[in-house]
Amino acid sequence: MKTILITGSSSGYGLETARYFLSKGWNVIATMRKPREDLLPRSPLLRVLPLDVTDDKSIEAAIAAAGPIDVLVNNAGLGVVGAFEATPMPHIRKVFETNTFGVMAMCQAVLGHHRQRNLQCDPRSFPAGRRIYRQQAGHRRFHRFAGARTRALRHPGQAG
């Protein structure tokens, strides 16, 4: 059975993704900044590991502890909701550290092995909706960037 590593599994989509793949019989590595064993059903298929995607040492330790990974889900992220001009720059920087550089760091950590095994990296970019919401201007910038990066990872020889 394949192994999936999910970042930001303590809540929301990450937690539900971990729950879903466990129910389908996958080996699930649910990673969290503050690991909690009580969030998901007890299972021999489940491992909960500490991981902060903005911390290189944390990434290194998690990848080493995880072993071979078939699927990486870059779910960990911070949202930006509110008027762009009212969003403090420190928060915007934190969003990019997590949602952009954190994703890049995770991809770098697993991509070499994945390419050898012809596997993919999913930056979880949500590039779908075309409407630009003024309240989400900072977030949209991230999504556009993530969409371009997704294309570049899938087709490394082509321009994004």
Ligand X SMILES: NC(=O)c1ccc[n+]([C@@H]2O[C@H](COP(=O)([O-])OP(=O)(O)OC[C@H]3O[C@@H](n4cnc5c(N)ncnc54)[C@H](OP(=O)(O)O)[C@@H]3O)[C@@H](O)[C@H]2O)c1
**Listed ranges 39-47, 60-68, 95-103, 104-112: which one lies at the site for ligand X (CB under 6 A):** 95-103
Q: Of 13, 20, 84, 96, which one interacts with ligand X (CB under 6 A)?
A: 13
Q: Of 3, 27, 75, 150, which one interacts with ligand X (CB under 6 A)?
A: 75
- Distance CA(141)–CA(136), nearest Å, equals 9
Q: Residue 83: count other Cβ atoms within 10 Å of its Cβ.
A: 10
* Residue among 56 and 155 whose Cβ is closer to ligand X: 56
Binding positions for ligand X, 107-146, rule CB under 6 A:
126
User: What is the DSSP code (8-state) at residue 101?
Assistant: I
Phi-psi region of 119 (alpha: psi -120 to 50; beta: other; left: phi over 0): beta
- Distance CA(79)–CA(97), nearest Å, equals 12
* Residue among 101 and 160 whose Cβ is closer to ligand X: 101
- Distance CA(121)–CA(62), nearest Å, equals 17
- Distance CA(106)–CA(38), nearest Å, equals 25
**Listed ranges 37-45, 49-57, 62-70, 113-121: which one lies at the site for ligand X (CB under 6 A):** 49-57
Q: Of 3, 21, 69, 77, which one interacts with ligand X (CB under 6 A)?
A: 77
Binding region for ligand X (CB under 6 A): 7-8, 10-14, 33-34, 51-54, 75-79, 98-99, 102, 126
